[in-house]
Each structure stands twice: as structure tokens, then as C-alpha cells.
């Protein structure tokens, strides 16, 4: 189908997947990545070990890249460190991170937001407002979905020209701590 706007970089390589795709860590102790290309005839997978990386036609292209010892998700607008416990999926542009217990992290922008309260949806209750390093505004929300309590964190990361990147993390219990930690780790290292 073609390449996408998000790629992984680190360990001396850049992984450029074909859409639609998923990046997953092969296991908790490995730097290897399983790349899945979702096709009409079923998923096609490739395991990319940075120590011996090579392209898999139609699934992922492997190119030389930065030598830092961690994975960074790169887009044309921003880069963010890939938090452990989450897969990278092409379900939402430019990507969506998906974890256990329906935890997810998505990114929008950069956009102009004159009033952060526009990020509060009907039925959501503000449980906290705070600042995180580098002037990131945080709004933490509680709401109910299908009879279960959920948490959502909206993180407004300032960019040039008065615009922000909107990182939205959400989860039901018991994934709330992992979602909050994942997005805050991404932003702390951005």
C-alpha cells in the first residue's frame, strides 16, 4: 500500500513500515521489533533485530539511522520515545499507542487551542489540573464508559507559534498507571 508518516529510529537503524502496520516489541528483554503489515489476505510479519537488521519487502524497509540505544517514533512534526508496554499502530494518524487494559495514547497536532477546556467532553469530570516540566499543561479527567470508570489525561505540549501537540492518554483500571506513566515518559524525553 505504501509508506507511512511514522517510523521507528534507534540502534543504528530506521524502520519504515508499510501501511497499515503495527510495531510490537518481540519481548520485554529485547530490542527486536515485530512489524506487522495488515493485508486483505491476512497479516504479514517480520522480526527486525537491530543487531542484524534487513528489509522485508512490502512489510518494512530498514535504513541506516541514529545510534541511540532506544526506539524513537518519528513523524514529520515531532519525535517521541516509544514507551515500553505499548504497541504502535496506524489506526489513528499519525499513530496510536495501544497497551493492556484498553490503555491508549494518541497524538494530534500541532494545533492552536485558545482554551484548554475545549478538550473536556460532555460527561467528563476534571479531577486534576497541573503543569509538567517544559510548561506542559495537563488536564486529568474521569468518566464512565460501558459501566466502567475510565481515566483520561490531556497533555498540551507547547510548540512554536503558539501551537501545541495534544497527547491524549486513556485507560480503564488497572491500566491507568501504565497509560499515565507512558505518556509522561514520552514527554519527559521529548
166 band by pLDDT with thresholds 50, 70 and 90 = very high
Give, as one character, the DSSP assignment of residue 121. Answer: P
Residue 81 shares a structural domain with residue 145 = no
Taking 90 as the threshold, does the pLDDT of residue 86 lie above it?
yes
Give the residue from 75, 128, 64 showing the smallest Cα distance to 106. 75
Residue 77 shares a structural domain with residue 21 = yes
Residue 11 shares a structural domain with residue 69 = yes
Residue 51 shares a structural domain with residue 106 = no
Taking 70 as the threshold, does the pLDDT of residue 190 lie above it?
no
What pLDDT, on a 0 to 100 scale, did the predictor assign at position 1?
41
Quote the domain boundaries for residue 33: 1-98
| Distance from C-alpha of 151 to C-alpha of 108, rounded to nearest angstrom | 19
pLDDT digit string (tens) for 91-130?
Answer: 888 899 999 989 999 999 889 999 999 999 999 999 999 9
Residue 15 shares a structural domain with residue 48 = yes
Residue 173 shares a structural domain with residue 133 = yes
| Distance from C-alpha of 88 to C-alpha of 94, rounded to nearest angstrom | 10
What is the number of other CB atoms lying within 10 angstroms of the CB of residue 178?
A: 20
Summary mean pLDDT of the chain: 91
Residue 82 shares a structural domain with residue 22 = yes
Residue 5 shares a structural domain with residue 81 = yes
Number of domains, the chain? 2
pLDDT digit string (tens) for 130-149?
Answer: 999 869 999 999 999 999 99
Residue 86 shares a structural domain with residue 126 = no
DSSP 149-186: EEEEEEEEEE-GGG-EEEEEEEEETTSHHHHHHHHHHH
Residue 89 shares a structural domain with residue 2 = yes
**Chosen domain end from 98, 117, 149:** 98
Amino acid at each position: 500500500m505504501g509508506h507511512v508518516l511514522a517510523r521507528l529510529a534507534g540502534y543504528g537503524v530506521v524502520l519504515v513500515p508499510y501501511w497499515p502496520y503495527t510495531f510490537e516489541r518481540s519481548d520485554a528483554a529485547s530490542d527486536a521489533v515485530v512489524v506487522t503489515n495488515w493485508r486483505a489476505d491476512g497479516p504479514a510479519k517480520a522480526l527486525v533485530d537491530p543487531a542484524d537488521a534487513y528489509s522485508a519487502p512490502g512489510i518494512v524497509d530498514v535504513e541506516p539511522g541514529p545510534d541511540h540505544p532506544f526506539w524513537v517514533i518519528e513523524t514529520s512534526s515531532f519525535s517521541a520515545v516509544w514507551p515500553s508496554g505499548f504497541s504502535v499502530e496506524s489506526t489513528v494518524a499519525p499513530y496510536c499507542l495501544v497497551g493492556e487494559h484498553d490503555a491508549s495514547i494518541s497524538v494530534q497536532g500541532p494545533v492552536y487551542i485558545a482554551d484548554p477546556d475545549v478538550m473536556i467532553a460532555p460527561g467528563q469530570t476534571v479531577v486534576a489540573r497541573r503543569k509538567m516540566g517544559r510548561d506542559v499543561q495537563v488536564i486529568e479527567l474521569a468518566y464512565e464508559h460501558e459501566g466502567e470508570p475510565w481515566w483520561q489525561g490531556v497533555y498540551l505540549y507547547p510548540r512554536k507559534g503558539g501551537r501545541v501537540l495534544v497527547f491524549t492518554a486513556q485507560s480503564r483500571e488497572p491500566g491507568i498507571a501504565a497509560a499515565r506513566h507512558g505518556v509522561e515518559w514520552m514527554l519527559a524525553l521529548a
